[in-house]
Amino acid sequence: MTPSSPAGTEAALPTALPGSYAEAVAALQARGRFGIRLGLGRTRALLRELGGPERGVRGALVGGTNGKGSVLALAAACLAAAGLRAGDTPKPHLVTYRERLRIGGRPIGADDFTALVRRVLPAADAITRRHGPPTEFELMTALAFAWFGQEAIDLAVVEVGLGGRLDATHAWDGGVVAITNVDLDHTEWLGPTIPAIAREKAAIILPGDCVVTGAAGEGLEVIRRRARRVGAPLREVTPAPVLAMDRAGLLVELPGLGAIRVGLLGRHQAANVAVADAVLDALDTAGIAVVAPAARRAGYAAARWPGRLELVDVAGAGPGGAPAEVLLDGAHNPAGAAALAAALDELRPLLREPGAAGAGAAGRPAPVTLVLGIMADKDVDGVVATLAAARSLAGARVVATRVEAPRALPAAALAARWRSAAGASAGPIEVVPEPHAAVATALAGAEGPVVIAGSLYLVGAARALLVDDPDLRDPAPG
């Protein structure tokens, strides 16, 4: 990561404005050279330079270690079902930068995105001498609020990036705060213990906010202390009881709603839907939005969260041209890997074999093929050990790959880590460094379902290859 430099010691980037969507993306990516530079000064200054568009936006700021995106997806689906124009900011993007700016569940158009970048870059240059150049994430945060402001949305649901206290999104206070949970992740930035990480995340709670959390243990105690100290009412929730689970998602029970369908896979979504429902209650309490029971039921059933325990049917991709079933999931830290492992153990009997007409082919299930790519600065051993311990991955065929990012762990090193963790239960292991080639290799030789996991960068590359979503097609350069 690039360390921070004192304000005023870095030259401003060129002020030439992008004339196309491709140039707008390149201008944003150029800011990636500044790395992660936590702090609110640049974002606050940038928003002031833009006229303070965030001041006219109310809504919920969602932090936590895992489940933030799921809570966004669930809440946003309910808000859309209620007829509200809600902006949201899922991150990271999988296929296109435009995924990170949405209204009503639809990503921003390429022309609007380009126009926003043209508006925000001069503001970034204007604050650089005093505050230093904004990072890519700070620019994306400013783009979101600039767009939400000009579109006069009803409310926003915004996902925290890293931690909370010094994250760019904390430059905004929408009136409602949610902290999904607290676990070990980004320890080099947030601290080595649960209480240390919880303090960073709980700092987004400001006086008067309506606060919701699904945290437990030491993390919950820190959140309670912060809420008491600033006088913010806190609602604590526990996972909704799971009544049933199938290939289409969950059936859970929520207070006041009874049995409801959740369109997301994995038993861990029972915790996320409980948080999302409490967020909707908090938005009502804060006078921001009212979402009736019928809209909640419709929204939860319709919710989708691409790349997170997402089942994709790929026609003609299996051996001999048979259809293949692919499960996409980031699982980039041990807690996420544990959720994937538990879900896969439950879902495995319901997953189709290549070419099978229905779920649960007769006889012993064929081995799963796992395409795995992990960033080197993650807890690689924790992720690998957790996945290798899953019953459904015993004897799995593993295709180790390397995502196209400087921080990615080399494929051969990842294969060695898997071999060490799996021990006697290890199945065949292949090293295919290029991600698209790794996916093709996995599909060509798959006897059972294919799972692609370990990094959202890898999931994004695979999803772009396997799923043709018209909303995510970017204009061709030139």
Whether the CB-CB separation of 348 and 365 falls below 8 Å is answered with yes
Q: What is the dihedral of CA 331, 334, 335, 340, to 10 degrees?
A: 40
Q: How confident is the model at residue 34 (pLDDT cuts 50, 70, 90)?
A: low
Residues 325 and 442 in one domain: yes
Say which residues have a Cβ less than 8 Å from residue 90's Cβ, sequence separation at least 6.
69, 72, 73, 99, 100, 102, 159
Residues 161 and 213 in one domain: yes
CA distance 334 to 322: 33
CA distance 266 to 168: 30
Q: What is the pTM of this model?
A: 0.89
Residues 288 and 332 in one domain: no
What per-residue confidence (pLDDT) applies to 23? 95
Residue 335 has pLDDT above 90, yes or no: no
CA distance 276 to 75: 5
Q: How confident is the model at residue 478 (pLDDT cuts 50, 70, 90)?
A: low
Choose one of 263, 280, 302: the last residue of a domain.
302
- Helix pair 194-202, 217-230: axis angle to 10 deg: 30
Q: How confident is the model at residue 316 (pLDDT cuts 50, 70, 90)?
A: low
Residues 185 and 73 in one domain: yes
Say which residues have a Cβ less than 8 Å from residue 458's Cβ, sequence separation at least 6.
371, 372, 373, 401, 403, 435, 452
User: Which tokens hold the place of 10?
Assistant: 């870095």
Q: How confident is the model at residue 409 (pLDDT cuts 50, 70, 90)?
A: very high
Q: What is the DSSP string of 254-306?
A: ETTTEEEEE-S-STTHHHHHHHHHHHHHHHHHTTS----HHHHHHHHHH---T
CA distance 91 to 70: 11
Read off the pLDDT of residues 226-254 as tens digits, 9 standing for 90 and up: 999 999 999 999 999 999 999 899 999 99
Whether the CB-CB separation of 145 and 54 falls below 8 Å is answered with yes
Choose one of 302, 324, 344: the last residue of a domain.
302
Choose one of 302, 336, 371: the last residue of a domain.
302
Half-sphere exposure of 15 (CA within 13 A, CB side): 9
Read off the pLDDT of residues 76-116 as tens digits, 9 standing for 90 and up: 999 999 999 999 999 889 999 999 999 999 999 999 999 99
Read off the pLDDT of residues 116-129 as tens digits, 9 standing for 90 and up: 999 999 999 999 99
Q: What is the dihedral of CA 404, 70, 199, 2, to 10 degrees?
A: 20
What per-residue confidence (pLDDT) applies to 33? 57
What per-residue confidence (pLDDT) applies to 400? 98
Rounded average pLDDT over 458-470: 92
Residues 317 and 233 in one domain: no
Domain assignment of residue 250, yes or no? yes
What per-residue confidence (pLDDT) applies to 319? 62
Rounded average pLDDT over 186-201: 90
């041209």: which residue's tokens? 321
Domain at 185, CATH number = 3.40.1190.10
Residue 310 CB neighbour total at 10 angstroms: 19
Domain assignment of residue 141, yes or no? no
Domain assignment of residue 422, yes or no? yes
Q: Which domain holds residue 99?
A: 58-103+151-302
Domain at 358, CATH number = 3.90.190.20
Domain assignment of residue 120, yes or no? no
Rounded average pLDDT over 286-293: 98
Residues 386 and 408 in one domain: yes
Q: Which of 195, 227, 222, 196 is nearest to 211 (CA)?
A: 227
CA distance 87 to 154: 8
Burial of 19 (0-12, 13-18, 19+ CB in 10 A): exposed
Give the range among 144-158, 319-333, 404-418, 463-477 with minimum mean pLDDT.
Answer: 319-333
Q: How confident is the model at residue 317 (pLDDT cuts 50, 70, 90)?
A: low
Domain assignment of residue 108, yes or no? no
What per-residue confidence (pLDDT) applies to 332? 83
What per-residue confidence (pLDDT) applies to 188? 81
What is the C-alpha radius of gyration for the chain, rounded to an integer number of angstroms?
A: 22
What per-residue confidence (pLDDT) applies to 365? 77
SS3 state of residue 160: coil
Q: What is the dihedral of CA 107, 111, 116, 117, to 10 degrees?
A: 100
Domain assignment of residue 19, yes or no? no
What per-residue confidence (pLDDT) applies to 264? 96
Domain assignment of residue 223, yes or no? yes
Residues 260 and 224 in one domain: yes
Read off the pLDDT of residues 337-395 as tens digits, 9 standing for 90 and up: 998 999 999 999 888 766 544 344 445 678 999 999 999 988 999 999 999 999 999 99
Q: How confident is the model at residue 439 (pLDDT cuts 50, 70, 90)?
A: very high
User: Which tokens hold the place of 15?
Assistant: 């002020």
Domain assignment of residue 53, yes or no? no
What per-residue confidence (pLDDT) applies to 476? 83
What per-residue confidence (pLDDT) applies to 35? 64
Residues 321 and 389 in one domain: yes
Residues 169 and 259 in one domain: yes
What per-residue confidence (pLDDT) applies to 151? 96
Say which residues have a Cβ less than 8 Å from residue 250's Cβ, sequence separation at least 6.
242, 243, 244, 261, 262, 264, 265, 266, 267, 269, 270, 273
Residues 215 and 272 in one domain: yes
CA distance 18 to 114: 7
CA distance 235 to 131: 37
Residues 158 and 63 in one domain: yes
What per-residue confidence (pLDDT) applies to 361? 43
Q: What is the DSSP string of 3-46?
A: PP--TTSSPPPP-PPPSSHHHHHHHHHHGGGG-----SHHHHHH
Residues 225 and 96 in one domain: yes
Q: Give the total number of structural domains in the chain.
A: 2
